[in-house]
Amino acid sequence: MAPHSSPERSLKASLRAEALARRDALSPEARAVGSLAAAETIAAIPQLAQAPLVGAFWPIRSEIDPRPLIERLFARGQRVALPKVTKQGLVFREWRAGEELVQGGFGLSEPRDDLPPLDPTALIVPLAAFDRAGQRIGYGAGYYDQAIERLSQNGPVLTVGIAFSVQEIERVPAEPHDRPLDHLVTETGPVPLRQS
């Protein structure tokens, strides 16, 4: 059930729609080149290199593509988990190169249900819009906010937001439950985060 409406939610909805329209307007070539550039930057984050299991995602629509990053993680011996949307929230399951994915809701490609759920200690986080305080606007369902909160109960979780630079906005109308990301990366490199 969707949380009650608020001025923040309606503002977020319009900011989300504007940022996604800018993202959709990027050419396929710009998206491919940008995804490779972002992968190089993210792979160089020292804390990410220390995570034994990284939660990533499979791209949908015009999202920046994390698959070049996943290839780099595999190449240096790291394991990768992909999310499945369930009624209880996101469940992460390990994915190995070449394994078949199954069609999930929202047009998502997800790991098979018979794989055991695992808890990553680092997450590559998709987003619709972001600001320089490290706040993000997701797609509106709160799945990643809930997942980060749940995973953080086991210990620190490194969060790396990944997007195109056209998705930056001046200020995300953050709500009390919103947590800033540890890192934000676009095709132009790391986004310098200001302290809020």
Q: How far apart are CA 117 and CA 120, in angstroms?
A: 10
State the pLDDT at residue 114.
Answer: 86
Bridge partners (DSSP) of residue 129 are 137
| Domain housing 181 | 7-190
Question: Domain for residue 16, yes or no?
Answer: yes
Question: Domain for residue 196, yes or no?
Answer: no
More confident residue, 176 or 112: 112
State the pLDDT at residue 138.
Answer: 92
Give whole-number Cα distances, 168 to 3, 13, 26, 82, in Å. Answer: 25, 15, 14, 25
| Span 33-45, average pLDDT | 98
Among 189, 186, 170, 183, which Cα is nearest to 64's?
186
Place 1 in a pLDDT band, splitting at 50, 70 and 90: very low
User: 45 pLDDT exceeds 50?
Assistant: yes
- Retrieve residue 133's tokens: 């305080």
Question: Domain for residue 195, yes or no?
Answer: no
Domain count, the chain: 1
CATH number at residue 36: 3.40.50.10420
| Span 21-49, average pLDDT | 97
The angle, 0 to 180 degrees and rounded to 10, between the axes of the packed helices 67-75 and 28-43 is: 30
Longest distance between any two alpha carbons in the chain, whole Å: 45
More confident residue, 105 or 90: 90
- Contacts for 3 with CB less than 8 Å, ≥ 6 apart: 9, 142
Question: Domain for residue 26, yes or no?
Answer: yes
Give whole-number Cα distances, 142 to 31, 47, 139, 146, in Å. Answer: 25, 25, 8, 6
135-171 burial by CB neighbour count: b if 16+ within 10 A, else e? bbbbeeebbbbebbeebeeeeebbbbbbbbbbbbbee
State the pLDDT at residue 113.
Answer: 85
Q: Taking a C-beta distance cutoff of 8 angstroms, is the pair 172, 180 a contact?
A: no
Place 107 in a pLDDT band, splitting at 50, 70 and 90: low
State the pLDDT at residue 110.
Answer: 80
Q: Taking a C-beta distance cutoff of 8 angstroms, is the pair 101, 95 a contact?
A: yes
Question: Domain for residue 1, yes or no?
Answer: no
Question: Domain for residue 2, yes or no?
Answer: no
User: 57 pLDDT exceeds 90?
Assistant: yes
